[in-house]
Each structure stands twice: as structure tokens, then as C-alpha cells.
Amino acid sequence: MQFSFNHFNFNVFDLDKSLEFYKENLGLEEVRRYEPEHGEFIIVYLGDGETDFRLELTWLRDWDKPYDLGDEEYHLAFVVDDYDAAYELHKENDVICYENEKMGIYFIADPDGYWLEVLPKKR
């Protein structure tokens, strides 16, 4: 028996704002959307165009406050081929929330406060 990764979910407060953030800062594109007739939620799957892994964004119609992310001791990581250009983009967009220069990584925060690690592609 073998398991493989499929997707990871973030619940988001403002779907349009989140979609814009993920496209502008990480180049993720919508690959699939599910909107049931009752309109209680919308699920959007984002892809990177290279892997089958998906980031699922779920918006709940009746959710009326920002999500409580607890101690924020988890994150999703991205590898980038041009680390310096990515860093400049994220610095310009004012989304960097933590840097670890010694390890050569940094984190950005999405509109809901989820942390996303940015790693350079191994050389």
C-alpha cells in the first residue's frame, strides 16, 4: 500500500483577496472550483503548473471573523528557482513575516495569517 500527497487546505476569510495573494506572490493558478447550489461554501484548488499537489482554499459563507490559527506552529513550504527575485517581490509586497538568514530561508504570511516558507532550489 502506498500513499501520496494530494492537497492541503486553508480556510480563508476573503476568497478574492486570497486568490490575488497566491497568484501575485507564488504564481499559483486556479485549477478547479466547487460551488454547491446552496452557496454555503466555495472550494478552490490552486496549482503550481508543475506538480499535481494542490492548495485547497475553502471559503465559508457564514464565517464572520478571522480564523484563529492558534500558535501558528505549522506552515506550507515552497521551493523557488530564483530566490533573490522572490525575496525582492515579497519584500516589495510587504508580506515577509520572518527571516532566518543563517538557514537561508524566509516566511511570508497570507491575508489570513498562514505562514508560507520560501526555500531556494537546491543547487
Please indicate, yes or no, whether the overall pTM of this predicted structure exceeds 0.85. Answer: yes
* HEC string for the chain: CCCCCCEEEEEECCHHHHHHHHHHHHCCEEEEEECCCCCCEEEEEEECCCCCCEEEEEEECCCCCCCCCCCCCCCEEEEECCHHHHHHHHHHCCCEEEEECCCCEEEEECCCCCEEEEEECCC
Q: In total, how many domains does the chain have? A: 1
Specify whether 56 is catalytic.
Answer: no
Domain carrying residue 116:
7-62+75-120
Residue 69 lies in a domain: no
pLDDT digits (tens, 9 = 90+) for 26-60: 999 999 999 999 999 999 999 999 999 999 999 99
State the pLDDT at residue 123: 56
Q: What CATH number did the domain enclosing 44 receive?
A: 3.10.180.10
Of 29, 40, 92, 117, catalytic: 117
pLDDT digits (tens, 9 = 90+) for 58-101: 999 999 998 888 777 789 999 999 999 999 999 999 999 999 99
Residue 68 lies in a domain: no
